Structure 1
Amino acid sequence: MPIPRGKKSSVSAGTRIPKLTSTSSENQEEGPQVKRSSSPPHGAPKKRTAFIDITNAHKVHISLPGRKKDPTKSAVKKSSSSSAALKKLSNLKKSSSVSSEEGTAEKEKTEEVKPGEEETPEDAAAPVEELVAAAPPVVREVPAHLLKAQVPAEFDIDSENSEDTYMCPEYAKEIFDYLKRREEKFVLCNYMPSQPSLNPEMRAILIDWLVEVQENFELYHETLYLAVKMTDHYLSQTPVHREMLQLVGSTAMLIASKFEERSPPCVDDFLYICDDAYKREELISMEAGILQTLSFDINIPIPYRFLRRYAKCVSAGMDTLTLARYFCEMSLMDMELIPERGSLLASACLLVALVTRDLGGWAPILQFHSGYQTSDLAPVVRKLHAMLVAPPDDKLKAIRNKYAHKVFFEVASLPVVDMDILEEVLLQ
């Protein structure tokens, strides 16, 4: 429908499509192009630079498809540039002949440039080639912190995944070494004395509930471990009333889901599992509070990642790895194991699982990749054994019921290994 003159067309802002007139071939073929005026429109402020024109517009040469280059012009330019280079070389030779007048007559004759003779480009390029050939090769030393650590062949567990880019075989060891160093920043202590309204039993009930949330939403195990870590770090810095403890745990699970999951649950899902005990504004406010308290640094090393890495070192089967995962997940509820680093805790859980399955002790390859010896694992192994042989609490059944399922090889129903057997392994 034609638009009458004097009236503006009512088009929404979202439907305006700019016309790309500069890229159309028809406009390029229609006569010479007109340069855009650099002067600002009427009433607009003038553009200025701090010192000079810092753009490269005067240096850019645009070759249009409709125009053809003149071969004569390019030949003239090449010949002029080559003649200029020859003149410079002849001047250099003349200056060298003048400076060497005090030498012998033979040297003067060889260095003189006879009039009327022109030097060929091959003769002019000869001294340059000789200088380049005589120059020693430049050897750049790689800084020490960029040198890749050499892994012995008997301890190499990543070369078998050289074709799998998702496994990052070139950087796998460096990644876990970095995570192990990063653990020093997230060392915790027993913070319950600073929480007047909480006790270890309340925290254990919260984690037992988070395990159920992880199962119901089918979240990754990394999400569960990260949520527990963030909850502990937040509680170590901020006093919380017991009525708000579930809000802290569910919000930490929401943040961990955003960090680990491909499609994390939404806010309404977490409000639903809390039985609508909290409002949407409270959960969002708690999310901002946790992130600000942790300075938005939530990439906390968790024991689950180290456990999978160390189990690969000894080619542990899925049943052995699941047993170690059961021990590691049970340790989340024990307040005595909070100060332990994730890599050390994962090593202790794997050692107990290996001894339970009668698969040997702490092998040299595990010492190489974990950096721990058997003596370093002894205190944590004893704490784990005391936790496993303790009478189970009827209120805390989520982890035991989870790992009693056939999917997890029913590892929760296995008898706990005798402490005397563990002591023999720890003394090796």
Structure 2
Amino acid sequence: MCNAGDVSKPHVVIVGGGFAGLNAADELASMGCRVTIVDRRPYTTFQPLLYQVATGGLNPGDVTYSLRSYAGRRRAKVRFRRAGVTGIDSEARVVHCDRGEPIEYDFLVLAQGAGISHFGIPGAEENTYSIYTRGQALEVRDEVMTLLDRLAVDPYREAVIVVVGGGATGVEMAGTLAEMRMQGIPIAYPDVHPSRIRVMLVEMGDAVLAPFEPDLRDYTFEQLVQRGVDVRLQTAIAEVGPDTVRFKDGETMQADLVVWAAGIGAHPIVEEWGMPQGRGGRIEVSEHLLVHGHDRIFAVGDGAIIDDNALPQQAQPAIQQGRHVAQQIKALCTGEPLRPFAYVDKGTMATIGRSAAVVQLKNGPKFTGFPAWSFWVVLHLSFLLGGRNRIQAMINLGFRYLLYPRTANSIVGDVREEPTKADE
């Protein structure tokens, strides 16, 4: 056992302050272990609500929490280093960073998460926006505000917003944009008729929310269509231009804003760490979450894959793996055998818009509509770190969902300046 006050207790370095990393740190700190969290950002982000930031429903501070504050709450047990990991020397047990001195470790937990995958589609990386980070969500918010501002001054202009990917993120983004189009925009932008804005959801497969049961997928599709979303199933993108999208069937259409929610992959820097990589660039680990070929390095969360058996890249697998890896380190400290990781599927959920969501509990009930939406709201608020974040998010979501559309108040974004006649 890693006893508090024991100077020989192991030092665990955790790379990444997301769901997996923080849950591992919580467990290890409770055992009295010394923990250092390394992350290139000074905050952790609650990614499931970033689409609300992108559409002006929440402030970025509502879904982020300072990692220094997190470490400070645990006093001397947890330290935080803002840095990017540039290399790992497994023989010397040292993590090299782009800021500060190298960090020695007894055990290393790689919980770096994942980045964006554009699947090699020409123009996708250069001409699309994503909402996997706080900064990206703010970029999308500002692009939406810029687009609406253009429509307000040009009565003959129309706009098309394309959301790529029919998973939870894509469905939530498209559904919220459609509600803005029909309810919020006519009040906030009276000169912009909703018919001038088109929201399209493009999915390569034959259904949205593929992991859900068929009746829930059908409900989601119907709700999106009712909200005015142009849902394109079995549609693949061949190329993305600065203001167009070309599909593989040859059709080319206008696209003023393309939001990419189609998939995630490994961060490019992972290749330089010398760890074995499998499908999607994820670090390959055994059933015990140990990186293949290493006895003191673990990998968990979205950036890890268990012997090519990919778990969903969602919060629950990351949380459970983070907690499990702490118990594995405890076992190594005490000489006990390691236990294989067994994922407990508790179910999944997604929201489509106000009073519309789907919840599918494992070996339990499934439900839709307002009950599912209420369940979704309560659960997501409960997972936010910090009482201030929970209260502020509850207030902002209350304005969006309880007072909409009587008030069109939303979080205001910046409008990108464009050349004026005076500049010509």
Which structure has greater helix proportion?
1
TM exceeds 0.5? Answer: no
* Larger radius of gyration between Structure 1 and Structure 2: 1
Which structure has greater strand proportion?
2
TM-score for the superposition, normalised by structure 2: 0.22
